[in-house]
A and B are shown apart, each in its own frame.
Chain A
Amino acid sequence: DGGITQSPKYLFRKEGQNVTLSCEQNLNHDAMYWYRQDPGQGLRLIYYSQIVNDFQKGDIAEGYSVSREKKESFPLTVTSAQKNPTAFYLCASSTRTDEQFFGPGTRLTVL
């Protein structure tokens, strides 16, 4: 089955730690995205990548980093510089001209 997988489903982090969220797609999509979802605020774009080895900041990139070494993978690192990282993180992918397909999400909680 084609789709997007995210792991882990739940993640707990101590303050001061960096954590990496995984996102993999087998849809052969060029573009991939990371969104953060907080209650009552919809989804906000963190980073996006239109092609391998290239990515751009979204609206709320501070405290996050990404890489795009393979077409299928777009991991997100939440660094200790992110002051309020507790949220639901969603990864998506798309062709250049159509809808975005979303993964099941990772819920990150800071202890």
Chain B
Amino acid sequence: AQSVTQLDSQVPVFEEAPVELRCNYSSSVSVYLFWYVQYPNQGLQLLLKYLSGSTLVKGINGFEAEFNKSQTSFHLRKPSVHISDTAEYFCAVSEPQGAQKLVFGQGTRLTINP
């Protein structure tokens, strides 16, 4: 069975500082990987995804993530954050074959301080 671990439940950073949100997964097969963002009382919006190919994936709002198969990680990074990045971030994994069910991590709450 697949599982996802987001290593930090909360990450506070100052505005314009860099940030990294960590995500590790476990799976016995190849995977698709996703990062979603959720603003308060809203649904989830896709930031970026890794399906195949280049291990460095660029997404919306200046975010990027790197797939590391040997370390089973998919950490999310942004070089300079803004107040508007304050939100909850979810890492998720699914199998390429089958029903495309997503398994989510528990989420990381990113708080940007001025």
Count A-B contacts at CB 8 Å.
55
CB distance from A50 to the nearest CB of B (A): 6
Complex CA–CA separation, A104 to B36 (angstroms): 14
Give CA–CA (A96, B96) in the complex, Å: 9
Q: Which residues of chain B are near A56, meaning CB under 8 Å?
A: 99
Whole-angstrom distance between the Cβ of A93 and the nearest chain B Cβ: 10
A4 to B44, CA, bound (A): 12
Q: Which of A44, A99, A107 contacts B34 (CB 8 A)?
A: A99
Complex CA distance for A7 and B36, rounded to whole angstroms: 22
Is A103 a contact of B99 with CB atoms below 8 Å? no
User: Which residue of chain A is the closest to B6 with respect to CB atoms?
Assistant: A42
A48 within 8 A of B: yes
- Judging by beta carbons under 8 Å apart, are A105 and B101 in contact? no
Q: Are A105 and B41 in contact (CB under 8 A)?
A: yes
- In contact, A58 and B44 (Cβ under 8 angstroms): no
Q: What are the residues of chain B within 8 A of A103 when measuring CB–CB?
A: 43
> Which A residues are in CB contact (< 8 Å) with B27?
none
Known A102-B43, A102-B45, A105-B42; judge A43-B99 contact (CB<8 A): no
The 4 closest A-B pairs by CB, nearest first: A102-B43, A42-B104, A102-B44, A42-B106
